[in-house]
């Protein structure tokens, strides 16, 4: 139980990759705050699984794009558990469309949640980590940030921004014993990718050297490593977990 005694906040933890991360960190011994925006039933399900396995979990509902809400959420976690040692910025949305058809509101919504949400949560959580002189922050980027993707200028811009943010924050926070890294998932089997047509899915799989779709647990395994004591000398890095797609 490598994370015994650690408190972790996972944003967007009610489903998909965030759910897998929350369950994995809990299985490694961390107390997990399950952030979600609206799906209370799914968030409660994650909490129930963690507690059913003897772990500790709490619900932390808020829109990560709202700075004041994030501030209140993280303060409530620290008040309840005394610290915050791990932050996984996973919350994200898509509003896909071709550039010429994309509405400005859809561009702004993706930037606000996917990029500004990372800023909001990191800014608040890092204040507590600085006082502790320790912390692990993992930001969820995407292979789309590295390669681009048709119909996702907003998503790619946000995820690319996360890479720059990660490297800059890593430089600023390193002197205080805090590591900041990013993971760039490839084609992962989630609700988001389930909406794609079979033809698009097949075409994507054919471009993956390992020849298969990734699972949320593949990402959770990488997060578990980067938040453990085995990764104390790794910061400012972007780890592509994509079966070789971006190679």
Of 219, 227, 236, 225, nearest in space to 21 by CA: 219
Beta partners for 61? 36
Q: Which of 107, 128, 155, 165 is labelled catalytic? A: 155
Residue 68 C-beta-side C-alpha neighbours within 13 Å: 0
Map tokens 């799914």 to a residue: 42
Q: Is residue 155 among the annotated active site residues?
A: yes
Specify the 3-state DSSP secondary structure of 89: strand
Instruction: Find all residues with CB under 8 Å of 233, minimum gap 6, and list them.
Output: none
DSSP per position, 180-240: EEEEEE-SB-SHHHHTS-HHHHHHHHTT-TT-S-B-HHHHHHHHHHHTSGGGTT--S-EEE
- CA-derived radius of gyration, the chain: 17
Specify the 3-state DSSP secondary structure of 87: strand
Instruction: Find all residues with CB under 8 Å of 77, minimum gap 6, and list them.
Output: 7, 9, 33, 58, 60, 84
Q: Report phi then psi at 127, rounded to 5.
A: -60, -40
Residues involved in catalysis: 155
């Amino acid at each position: 139980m490598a994370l015994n005694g650690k408190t972790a906040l996972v944003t967007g933890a009610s489903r998909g990759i965030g759910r897998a991360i929350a369950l994995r960190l809990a299985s490694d011994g961390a107390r997990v705050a399950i952030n979600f925006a609206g799906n209370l039933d799914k968030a409660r399900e994650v909490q129930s699984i963690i507690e059913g396995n003897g772990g500790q979990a709490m619900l932390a509902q808020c829109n990560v794009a709202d700075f004041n809400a994030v501030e209140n959420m993280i303060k409530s976690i620290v008040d309840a558990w005394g610290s915050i040692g791990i932050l996984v910025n996973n919350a994200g949305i898509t509003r896909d469309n071709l550039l010429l058809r994309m509405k400005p509101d859809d561009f702004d919504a993706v930037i606000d949640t996917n990029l500004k949400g990372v800023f909001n949560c990191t800014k608040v959580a890092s204040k507590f980590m600085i006082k502790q002189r320790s912390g692990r922050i993992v930001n969820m980027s995407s292979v789309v940030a590295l390669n681009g993707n048709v119909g996702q200028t907003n998503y790619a811009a946000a995820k690319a921004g996360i890479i720059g943010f990660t490297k800059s924050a890593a430089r600023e926070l390193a002197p205080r014993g805090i590591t900041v890294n990013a993971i760039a998932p490839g084609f992962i089997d989630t609700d988001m990718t389930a909406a794609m047509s079979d033809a698009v899915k097949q075409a994507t799989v054919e471009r993956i050297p390992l020849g298969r779709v990734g699972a949320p647990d593949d990402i959770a395994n990488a997060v578990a490593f980067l938040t453990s004591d085995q990764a104390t000398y790794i910061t400012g890095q972007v780890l592509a977990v994509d079966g070789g797609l971006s190679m």
